């Protein structure tokens, strides 16, 4: 297609074609048996959405974290100042929060080392932030979950299995707190209704009346929630 670059990836797990737009570009994920000649019409149909998403990402770049000494990183609506210290020979990076600052101790200079240290820290913090919210939401709903996992998927923010196992993306900590609160309520509702039926959305609306705004925020800003 004219001036719209995208890559194609076949997936054994995909049931239908879908498009992923993130910092790595545009990717079309297609089922194993889908004919490649069907890809271009599919992308053409979705092009307005793709271009809107790319524009939003471009607009958000001006507020991207600055992963350096004196820079900053987002944390649930806060803007934390980064204090970076390079300690040659350090094998495991360490991050410590002090007030409105994050002290990053890395074994090598450069943005990549800071990003690696922060990714580890966000994963650990995500478990604590999500667990407290999840326990409270389950208590209010009178339900319970079986396991909590923290991951870093490209496109999925959270999931709830039929057995009640919960999975949350640590990148939710880069969003405002009300977004994380909403995603938790969304998944707790899945403990009672696994699908996205009218009954499910009625349950979500009762627990988070502003859920449409939260969904819209994630759709618009989700691709830019990256370090």
**What ranges do the domains of the chain cover?**
7-62, 72-224
CA distance 135 to 113: 34
Q: What is the CATH number of domain 72-224?
A: 3.30.2010.10
Give 125's DSSP letter.
H
CA distance 45 to 57: 20
Which pLDDT score is estimated for 61? Answer: 60
Which pLDDT score is estimated for 3? Answer: 78
- pLDDT tier at 59, thresholds 50, 70, 90: low
Beta pairing class for 165-169 and 147-151: parallel
pLDDT digits over 76-118, tens only?
Answer: 999 999 999 999 989 999 999 999 999 999 999 999 999 999 9
CA angle centred on 55, ends 126 and 182, rounded to 5°: 30
pLDDT digits over 63-80, tens only?
Answer: 678 999 999 999 999 999
CA distance 144 to 79: 33
CA distance 48 to 57: 14
- Burial group, residue 137, by CB count within 10 angstroms (0-12, 13-18, 19+): buried
The 10 Å CB-count burial string (b at 16+, else e) for 95-112 is beeeeeebebbbbeeeee
The overall average pLDDT reported for the chain is 92
Q: What does the block give as tokens for 70?
A: 């004196």
98's enclosing H/E stretch is strand 94-98
Cβ neighbours around 31 below 10 Å, total: 14
Smallest Cα–Cα separation from 97: which of 116, 115, 67, 122?
Answer: 122
Which pLDDT score is estimated for 115? Answer: 95
* 160-173: average pLDDT: 96
- pLDDT tier at 226, thresholds 50, 70, 90: confident
What proportion of the chain, given as a percentage, has pLDDT over 90?
74
CA distance 219 to 157: 11
Q: Work out the widest C-alpha separation in the chain, in whole angstroms.
A: 56
pLDDT digits over 206-223, tens only?
Answer: 999 999 999 989 988 887
pLDDT digits over 182-198, tens only?
Answer: 999 999 999 999 999 99
pTM metric for this prediction: 0.78
Smallest Cα–Cα separation from 218: which of 56, 100, 95?
Answer: 56
Rg (CA), the chain: 20
């Amino acid at each position: 297609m004219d001036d719209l670059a995208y890559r194609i990836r076949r997936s054994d797990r995909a049931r239908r074609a879908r498009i992923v737009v993130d910092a790595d570009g545009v990717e079309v994920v297609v089922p194993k048996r889908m004919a490649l000649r069907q890809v271009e019409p599919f992308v053409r149909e979705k092009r307005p959405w793709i271009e809107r998403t790319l524009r939003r990402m471009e607009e958000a770049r001006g507020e991207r974290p600055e992963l350096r000494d004196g820079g900053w990183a987002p944390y649930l609506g806060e803007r934390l100042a980064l204090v970076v210290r390079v300690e040659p020979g350090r094998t495991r990076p360490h991050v410590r929060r002090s007030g409105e600052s994050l002290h990053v101790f890395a074994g090598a200079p450069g943005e990549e080392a800071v990003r690696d240290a922060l990714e580890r820290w966000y994963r650990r913090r995500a478990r604590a932030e999500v667990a407290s919210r999840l326990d409270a939401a389950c208590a209010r709903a009178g339900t319970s979950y079986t396991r909590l996992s923290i991951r870093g998927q490209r496109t999925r923010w959270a999931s709830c299995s039929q057995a009640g196992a919960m999975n949350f993306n640590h990148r939710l900590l880069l969003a405002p707190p009300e977004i994380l609160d909403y995603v938790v309520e969304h998944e707790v509702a899945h403990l009672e209704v696994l699908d996205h039926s009218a009954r499910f959305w009625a349950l979500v609306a009762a627990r988070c009346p502003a859920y449409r705004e939260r969904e819209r925020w994630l759709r618009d800003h989700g691709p830019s929630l990256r370090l």
